[in-house]
Chains A and B, each alone.
Chain A
Amino acid sequence: MQLLRKVYRFSSTKHRFASDIKSTNRQKMNLFQAINNALDIELGANPKALLFGEDVKFGGVFRCSQGLNEKYGTDRVFNTPLCEQGIGAFGIGLASVGYTAIAEIQFGDYIFPAFDQIVNEAAKFRYRSGDQFNCGSLTIRTTWGAVGHGALYHSQSPEAYFAHTPGLKVVVPRDPIQAKGLLLASIRDKNPVIFFEPKALYRNAEDEVPLDDYELELSKAEVVQEGKHITLIGYGTQIRVLREAAKLAEKDGVSCEIIDLQTIYPYDGQTLVDSVKKTGRCIITHEAPQTCGMGAELSALIQEKCFLHLEAPIKRVTGYDTPFPLVHEPIYLPDKFKIYEAIKQSVNY
């Protein structure tokens, strides 16, 4: 058993956006490989970092922790009993005495037993103690979003529940490069972060990911495509759908600006407002149900700050107010055609 010395710090570079990274030292990776790479870097750089959750030891059901137990040992990369409320609390306890706790919840659909610990404890730990204690070195990684056949309990997008909790940060990456940088930033952020990983992208999303240790700034939204006529806001898997919808709209001569929120909470409202002031039209999209989803929050903010600039009502294209379906998934999802239709309605208002 190795004696862990006091922490560290490392040659990590911090960037606002992935496009700022100039590194040529890259490797083709999918999302789970990028996550694995980020975890490997942190475990290597930070002797007080620990990675744990259900099935983490053999490599994880999505392979995110592949090889890490072999490399860092069972004291640092280990299985927990099957108990999400325990995983959350265990992570809080570790973080409260100075360890970097990277807790994995296998499916976001199963995060709810830990809801009390996350909302009542982790989020409020610093505030209620007068800053004598904190669990800032806690990061909860969990899977997120539709996967094609997941139905009610393997497809949920629970970000809105946590975005309503002061003291937490909530992050959703869209691609491997962002995922690695945002995950490292989340782990090192001095506040508890919930990091949602879009499971549909674990294998399907590939990129040339820099091998360096780098972080991408939290609470910064990225304009992934510039445009003139309408602002499209989304995050995670939905960014791909927005790109497809924008291509359809382009054929009609509509130039779409696409923004990836990246950090769901606290979000970067300024970038959204600047964009809508420019375009005058806005669509917000997410898989999560419509009522009280992030679309509702962002609509409220944008209409407040951009009222006189709006040429059309803000439209939300979201999942319906139903549990996530199975056979109905293809018609449930806010796909490119629904977004394209919303763009047309907005432009023709």
Chain B
Amino acid sequence: MKHFMRFSKISKAFQEVPSQYVYQINPIKNFEPIKQFRVIDLEGNLVAKEYNNIPKEILNQIFDLMISIEEMDNLLYMSQRQGKISFYMTSFGETATTVGTTAALQPQDFIFPQYREQGSFMWRGFTIEQIVNQCIGNHLDGGKGRQMPVHYGSKDLNIVTVSSPLTTQVPQASGAGYGFRVNGENKIAATWFGEGAASEGDFHSAMNFAQTLKCQTLFLCRNNHYAISTPTDDQFRGDTIAGKAPAYGMRTLKIDGNDLLAVYNGVKYAREQIIKNKEPFFIEFITYRIGDHSTSDHSVLYRSQEEIDSWKSGNNPINRLGLFLKKQGLRQFNDDHDNQIRKDVRNRVIAALKHGSEQQSPSIQDLFTDVYDEVLPHLQEQYTQLREHLTKYKDQYPINKFKGGL
């Protein structure tokens, strides 16, 4: 279907507009920082009553998942120390952002994650077994054992596979959001990144493209105060990351990221705005990385235990949500119930680790598949060379580790 459109030349002809001039040098020096949207305070008291609107079932499912992830993260961290997996990244202190956000999105929305969003994956149904199998890299891994641990992806759940280069996913989400708009789809592209990742050039291109081209993209920044060892003071000046967004012409919210109700309500609002206005939206969550950056990090080398504890006990998303649920009578708190949840998760992780470690790796052929949509001749040739070599030197290689062997 073609339609003929007159090529519209936008006129930049000069027009005198007296109100655009000033007659004294008065540079912009400081400006008011954007305030964080909050619904419940540090003790779980409701301070913004009109946002007390999340169904009880959803709140309880969210709470269940937050404590489950805490257990799972604990165990998988320890399993790395025990050599069962090679690497892991926990999300202690940040699950209100990831779980709350994903609960407020629609299942058809595409998520472009960074690497600390197990909350997003698991809210949508990514299982403990899928997580463990990816970390081990066995033949059950949906990623076919191609990547380091925590590089999950799920086509079924509309979550694009994690990649190590930082921030690369952010302008990709601008592209996806553009496609959704021009096709009139009720879908957004939501992308996660940390405050450190927002220093990369890709962040700037993403923001500029998204607003200029009107993309149905939701930018989600987890400001957790550290990029590995680099505190925010060494990362940027200005008003955190949210302060940059209005300069692109973008609607912006800064949210108390450890306040689950604020997260949920803020994201729901943002999504509605994106679909209604067909324009992107920017949210920065202020939160804190309670754990180390990864199993390769030892964060007390660059921050004090007192600092960590001040957040762990003073501004903890699980505690705040729990206190809110208790005070509102939305959840029965007895030790047995929550302890049982945690125990079940522990058992499940342990079983998954055991089962996963007994599985073979993906096949030897899978070294060569998926480079292209088909295995091209030069790769066929290299595979044949490898087979010949492995056959000749079979005792020197763990052939039987691979599914199907030689």
Which A residues lie at the B interface, using CB under 8 A? 1-4, 44, 47-48, 50, 58, 69-76, 78, 80-81, 83, 85-86, 89-99, 101, 113, 116-117, 120-121, 124-134, 136, 166-167, 169, 190-191, 219, 266, 269-270
Are A81 and B212 in contact, CB atoms less than 8 angstroms apart? yes
Q: Shortest beta-carbon distance, B402 to chain A, in Å?
A: 15
Q: Could you say which residues of chain B place their CB within 8 Å of the CB of A73? A: 3, 5
Chain B contact residues: over half helix, strand or loop, or mixed? Answer: loop
- Residue among A116, A190, A219 having the largest count of chain B Cβ atoms under 10 Å: A116
Q: Which residues of chain B in 358-376 are interfacial with respect to chain A, using CB atoms and an 8 Å cutoff?
A: 369-373, 376
Q: Shortest beta-carbon distance, A130 to chain B, in Å?
A: 4
Are A90 and B174 in contact, CB atoms less than 8 angstroms apart? yes
Q: Shortest beta-carbon distance, A88 to chain B, in Å?
A: 8
Closest A residue to B174 by beta carbon equals A90
Q: Shortest beta-carbon distance, A257 to chain B, in Å?
A: 22
Among A97, A117, A132, point to the contact of B143 (Cβ < 8 A): A132
CB contact under 8 A between A86 and B142, given known A121-B172, A128-B163, A190-B373 = no
Known: A96-B160, A130-B143, A132-B155. 17 other contacts (CB 8 A): A47-B1, A50-B182, A69-B7, A75-B182, A78-B213, A83-B209, A86-B171, A89-B206, A90-B174, A93-B174, A93-B189, A94-B178, A96-B176, A120-B163, A128-B163, A130-B142, A132-B142
Which B residues lie at the A interface, using CB under 8 A? 1-7, 110, 112, 141-144, 146-147, 151, 153-155, 160-161, 163, 165, 168, 170-180, 182-184, 189, 201-202, 205-206, 208-209, 212-213, 369-373, 376-378
Are B165 and A127 in contact, CB atoms less than 8 angstroms apart? no
Q: Shortest beta-carbon distance, B243 to chain A, in Å?
A: 21
CB contact under 8 A between A83 and B143, given known A71-B2, A120-B163, A132-B153 = no
Are B372 and A128 in contact, CB atoms less than 8 angstroms apart? no
Task: Kindly state the separation between the CA atoms of A307 and B112 in the bound complex, as whole angstroms.
Answer: 50
Are B143 and A70 in contact, CB atoms less than 8 angstroms apart? no
Closest B residue to A134 by beta carbon equals B373
CB contact under 8 A between A127 and B179, given known A86-B205, A132-B154, A266-B376 = no
List 25 A–B pairs whose Cβ atoms lie within 8 Å, in order of A's numbering. Answer: A2-B3, A3-B183, A3-B184, A4-B182, A44-B2, A48-B183, A80-B209, A81-B208, A86-B174, A89-B168, A90-B213, A93-B172, A93-B173, A94-B175, A94-B176, A97-B179, A128-B146, A129-B153, A129-B160, A130-B141, A130-B161, A130-B370, A133-B153, A133-B161, A269-B378
Are A99 and B5 in contact, CB atoms less than 8 angstroms apart? no
Are A120 and B165 in contact, CB atoms less than 8 angstroms apart? yes
Task: Kindly state the separation between the CA atoms of A48 and B183 in the bound complex, as whole angstroms.
Answer: 8
Q: Shortest beta-carbon distance, B136 to chain A, in Å?
A: 14
Task: Kindly state the separation between the CA atoms of A76 and B179 in the bound complex, as whole angstroms.
Answer: 10
CB contact under 8 A between A117 and B175, given known A4-B183, A167-B371 = no
Task: Kindly state the separation between the CA atoms of A167 and B212 in the bound complex, as whole angstroms.
Answer: 31
Are B110 and A97 in contact, CB atoms less than 8 angstroms apart? yes
